[in-house]
């Protein structure tokens, strides 16, 4: 514990917001009282470029981070997320907590993806049988989000994209969880700009509404899960619904904006239970639900991460050398620009019953 506190202090010392060259014209406030980041428990891990949606994994005893690479395109902000118009991915690694973060450069560029339209959103990575897999959401040439996969012999890439998206994939935010028996599952989906609401009947309906805004009394839209094939390039089954139940075992409703799934799935296993975590989007929480198997149902438990500064929230959870870590993002480097985010990390703690202690990213006020 003492060691982790010392490491956190080191991280705090190395990413002063006023020192960065990325403030994008925003004014840096010197008034601590007015600074929404003044109580930040962690500082940006990667000061050189804007990064978001961190999927962290431990490969070969190192932490590898697979984030989105945010850029300023000048596209106006809207509910579709058109302003998140990312064009490539960088992979980062750390030998130790608080140690140097290495930027391995461009791991995959949109111009090298044969089926690409636009917008490389939140990726994830996995390893099996000597190959590393980078999974990514991207709009195809018809402007429909699909999930692609690219492969490499090394965790940092560069990755080579398959010529087509994963067959049967749709929407955004792939998260690939490999269970202790070696079977891998992809969790995915995201509403509003993530287009999940346009797939209610198994076909893409461009006129699909922002369902949860209009159907508060109906069951909330569900994230999806599919077992992966042995070669990790295909779904081994039709995607299934992930059902999230409330404390009374009732299905969450579209109107449960504080609890219902919006985007940013992640799964980890703790003490034999499956923890499905996700963002609630317009209420900006990272929440979690616990299940007995990879398919659920999952019972809602509470908040992992309270709202961060910026519209989106996205995370990953990984154990490294006996310490559980929560990777997340906020907008400290850009002084609050919602599409110019930065990755952070903090320790995640559980109580004796396996409940996660909620994190306030600005608790040091
Ligand atoms: O980075 C683009 C999108 O914003 C991600 O796919 C979502 O999870 C949200 O963080």
User: Is residue 263 annotated as part of the catalytic site, yes or no?
Assistant: yes
| Total structural domains within the chain | 1
Q: Report the separation in Å between the CA atom of 122 and the middle of ligand 1, taken as the mean of its atom positions.
A: 5
Q: d(Cα 118, Cα 356) in Å, to the nearest integer?
A: 36
Please give the average pLDDT of every successive group of 10 residues along the chain, which has 365 residues.
Answer: 41 29 33 80 97 98 98 93 97 96 98 98 98 98 98 98 98 98 98 91 77 75 97 98 96 95 98 98 97 98 98 98 98 97 98 98 94
Report residue 182 as tokens: 């070696």
Reference 136, options 87, 203, 71; nearest CA is 87
Q: Three-class SS of residue 12?
A: helix
Predicted pLDDT at 202: 81
d(CA 136, CA 166): 10
Query: Is 319 a domain residue?
Result: yes
Q: Which domain holds residue 19?
A: 2-347
Q: What is the CATH number of the domain that holds 284?
A: 2.115.10.20
Mutate-to-test residue for ligand 1 from 77, 171, 173, 334, highest number of ligand atoms within 8 A of CB = 173
Whose Cα sits closest to atom 2 in ligand 1? 121
Residue whose CB lies within 8 A of the most ligand 1 atoms, among 172, 194, 277, for a mutation test:
172
**Are 107 and 159 in contact, with CB atoms under 8 Å apart?**
yes
Bridge partners of 251?
245
Give Rg (Cα) of the chain: 19
Among candidate residues 7, 4, 20, 9, the one with its CA nearest the CA of residue 342: 20
Q: Any residues with Cβ below 6 Å from ligand 1, and which?
A: 52-53, 68, 84, 121-122, 172-173, 190, 263-264, 312, 314
pLDDT by residue (tens digit) across 1-44?
434 444 443 343 332 222 222 222 233 444 445 899 999 999 99
Q: H-helix or E-strand containing 121? A: none
**Assigned domain for 196 exists:** yes
Q: Parallel, antiparallel, or unpaired for β 298-305 and 244-245?
A: parallel
Domain membership flag for residue 352: no
Active site residue 53: yes
* 25 domain residue, yes or no: yes
Whether residue 335 lies inside any domain: the answer is: yes
Closest protein CA for atom 8 of ligand 1: 264
Amino acid 32: pLDDT: 47
What's residue 209's pLDDT?
A: 60
In a domain, 364, yes or no: no
pLDDT for residue 47: 93
Q: List the residue whose alpha carbon is closest to atom 5 of ligand 1.
A: 122
Atom of ligand 1 nearest to the CA of 122: 6
Residue 365, domain member (yes or no): no
| pLDDT at residue 201, rounded to an integer | 76
358 assigned to some structural domain: no
Predicted local confidence at residue 207, as pLDDT? 78
């Amino acid at each position: 514990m003492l060691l982790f506190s010392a490491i956190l202090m080191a991280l705090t010392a190395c990413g002063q917001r006023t020192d960065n060259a990325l403030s994008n014209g925003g004014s840096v406030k010197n008034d601590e009282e007015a600074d929404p980041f003044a109580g930040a428990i962690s500082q940006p891990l990667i000061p050189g470029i804007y990064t978001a949606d961190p999927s962290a994994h431990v490969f070969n005893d190192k932490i590898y981070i697979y984030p989105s690479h945010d850029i300023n395109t000048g596209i106006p902000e809207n509910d579709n997320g058109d302003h998140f118009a990312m064009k490539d991915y960088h992979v980062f690694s750390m030998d130790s907590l608080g140690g140097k973060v290495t930027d391995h450069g461009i791991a995959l560029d949109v111009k090298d993806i044969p089926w690409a339209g636009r917008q490389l959103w939140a990726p994830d990575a996995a390893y099996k049988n000597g190959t590393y897999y980078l999974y990514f959401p991207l709009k195809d040439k018809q402007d429909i989000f699909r999930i692609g996969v690219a492969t490499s012999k090394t965790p940092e890439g560069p990755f080579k994209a398959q010529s087509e998206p994963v067959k049967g994939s749709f929407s955004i935010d792939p998260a690939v969880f490999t269970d202790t028996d070696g079977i891998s599952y992809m969790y995915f989906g995201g509403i509003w700009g993530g287009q999940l609401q346009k797939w209610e009947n198994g076909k893409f309906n461009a006129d699909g509404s922002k369902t949860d805004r209009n159907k508060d009394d109906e069951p909330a839209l569900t994230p999806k899960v599919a077992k992966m094939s042995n070669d990790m390039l295909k779904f081994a089954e039709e995607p299934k619904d992930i059902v999230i139940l409330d404390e009374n075992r009732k299905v969450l409703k579209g109107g449960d904006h504080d609890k219902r799934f919006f985007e940013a799935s992640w799964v980890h296993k703790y003490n034999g239970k499956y923890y499905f975590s996700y963002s609630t989007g317009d209420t900006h929480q990272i929440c979690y639900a616990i299940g007995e198997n990879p398919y659920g149902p999952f019972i809602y438990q509470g908040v992992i991460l309270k709202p961060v500064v910026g519209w989106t929230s996205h995370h990953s959870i990984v154990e490294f050398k006996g310490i559980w870590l929560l990777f997340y993002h906020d907008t400290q480097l850009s002084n609050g620009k919602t599409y110019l985010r930065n990755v952070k990390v903090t320790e995640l703690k559980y109580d004796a019953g396996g409940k996660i202690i909620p994190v306030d990213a600005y608790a040091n006020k």
